[in-house]
């Protein structure tokens, strides 16, 4: 019988650095996939993508308190170390780095990494301070592990472009790579937060991606943006979503708003919508797929 051994877990920066140093001495490339645990297939696809780039793969598991706002789900965020480790073993992870809050933010910690502009709107506008928490912790994780590659999911597109900018701005010698959003059979983007949904909410949640793909297709085929977005909002609210934080067409790289589809410009449609206490985000490319003629 095939025995899959769980990857070793370390909790301190010193242990992490010792292991990475040995790998480097052996000439191995190192990739990291930062996570907050509560793993799903989307995370495993990142680990597999990391594995294709580097011989050694680290997954970090740290529910980062500084990226949660007041009244958000920091306490409720799923934590299941045993299950996470089993999943990571099957995906080819070599090492789990799971620091404590004190290891990451010792007494007297006083630095914040803040990327301006690109974080002002969308999730940044609705979750003040969120991206400062993300960039600060990711900067620390990258400094601690000093990998060759770091992998991030495209579901959190604003996070991905923000991290790319941070790495560029701070001259960090790390290549940032991304993996496409992994979806459930009905198209719902996988997220650790999907487990908060009730059975009824789960049915409604699946309508988010369908509305988004259909709207992106209409925009790509020349239907006026305002009309498409208005219809999409209406459809989501009547499907049962409680509110929509944003529904925006934006340039994929700068995140500046776009007002119509233009061939050759990479743009995406972004949404964040609330269903009870759960906030769901998703984004899709605006491109001609041949769905609408
Ligand atoms: O995407 C996430 O899970 C988190 O924002 C990250 C990148 C691990 C930082 O805490």
How many Å apart are CA 283 and CA 28, to the nearest integer? Answer: 35
Ligand 1 centre distance from Cα of residue 202 (Å): 23
Q: Do domains 8-179 and 192-285 have the same CATH topology?
A: no
Question: Percentage of the chain surpassing pLDDT 70?
Answer: 97
The encoded tokens of residue 27 equal 């000439």
Regarding the beta carbon of 35 and ligand 1, being less than 6 Å apart is answered yes
Beta-carbon contacts of residue 148 (< 8 Å; ≥ 6 apart): 29, 30, 31, 53, 54, 174, 175
What's the pLDDT score for residue 3? Answer: 63
How many Å apart are CA 117 and CA 200, to the nearest integer? Answer: 38
Ligand 1 centre distance from Cα of residue 289 (Å): 31
**CATH number given to 192-285:** 3.30.1300.10
How many Å apart are CA 42 and CA 100, to the nearest integer? Answer: 24
Task: Identify the residue whose C-alpha is closest to ligand 1 atom 6.
Answer: 35
What's the pLDDT score for residue 292? Answer: 44
Atom of ligand 1 nearest to the CA of 192: 3
What is each CA distance from 82 to 9, 59, 79, in whole angstroms?
11, 14, 9
What is each CA distance from 242 to 52, 130, 270, 278, 284, in whole angstroms?
41, 22, 17, 10, 21
Is 43 tagged catalytic? yes
Second CATH level (architecture) for the domain 8-179:
3-Layer(aba) Sandwich (3.40)
> Could you report the per-residue pLDDT of 163-219, keeping only the tens digit for each?
999 999 999 999 999 999 999 999 999 999 999 999 999 999 999 999 999 999 999
pTM for this model (two decimals): 0.96
Query: Which residues does the chain have with pLDDT short of 70?
Result: 1-3, 290-293
| Domains in the chain: boundaries | 8-179, 192-285
Beta-sheet strand order (sheet of 243-251): 243-251, 267-275, 278-285
What's the pLDDT score for residue 5? Answer: 79
Q: Which member of 40, 43, 126, 218 is catalytic?
A: 43
| Residue indicated by tokens 């925006």 | 248
Residue 271: count other Cβ atoms within 10 Å of its Cβ.
25
Ligand 1 centre distance from Cα of residue 286 (Å): 25
Atom of ligand 1 nearest to the CA of 67: 10
Ligand 1 centre distance from Cα of residue 35 (Å): 5
What's the pLDDT score for residue 262? Answer: 80
Say how many Å lie between the first and final Cα of the chain, rounded: 53
> Could you report the per-residue pLDDT of 108-131, keeping only the tens digit for each?
999 999 999 999 999 999 999 999
Beta-sheet strand order (sheet of 8-10): 8-10, 95-97, 56-61, 30-35, 149-153, 175-179
Regarding the beta carbon of 156 and ligand 1, being less than 6 Å apart is answered yes
Task: Identify the residue whose C-alpha is closest to ligand 1 atom 8.
Answer: 35
């Amino acid at each position: 019988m095939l025995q899959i051994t769980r990857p070793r877990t370390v909790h301190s920066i010193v242990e992490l650095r010792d292991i990475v140093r040995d790998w480097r001495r052996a000439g191995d490339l190192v990739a990291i996939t930062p996570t907050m645990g509560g793993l799903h297939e989307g995370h495993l696809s990142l680990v597999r993508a990391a594995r294709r780039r580097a011989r050694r793969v680290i997954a970090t598991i740290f529910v980062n308190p500084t990226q949660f706002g007041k009244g958000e789900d920091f306490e409720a965020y799923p934590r299941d170390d045993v299950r996470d480790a089993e999943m990571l073993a099957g995906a080819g992870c070599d090492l789990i780095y799971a620091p404590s809050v004190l290891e990451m933010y010792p007494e007297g910690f006083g630095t914040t990494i803040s990327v301006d502009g690109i974080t002002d709107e969308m999730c940044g506008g609705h979750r003040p301070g969120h991206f400062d928490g993300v960039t600060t912790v990711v900067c620390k994780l990258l400094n601690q592990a000093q990998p060759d590659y770091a992998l991030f999911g495209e579901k959190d597109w604003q996070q991905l472009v923000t991290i790319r900018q941070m790495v560029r701005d701070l001259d960090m010698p790390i290549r940032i790579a991304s993996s496409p959003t992994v979806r459930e059979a009905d198209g719902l983007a996988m997220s650790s937060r999907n487990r908060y949904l009730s059975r009824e909410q789960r049915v409604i949640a699946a309508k988010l991606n369908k509305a988004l793909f259909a709207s992106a297709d209409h925009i790509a085929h020349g239907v006026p943006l305002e009309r498409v977005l208005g219809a999409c909002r209406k459809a989501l609210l009547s499907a049962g979503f409680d509110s929509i934080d944003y529904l925006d067409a934006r340039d994929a790289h700068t995140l500046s708003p776009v007002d119509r589809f233009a061939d050759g410009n990479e743009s995406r449609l972004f949404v964040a919508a609330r269903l009870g206490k759960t906030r769901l985000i998703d984004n899709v490319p605006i491109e001609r797929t041949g769905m609408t003629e």
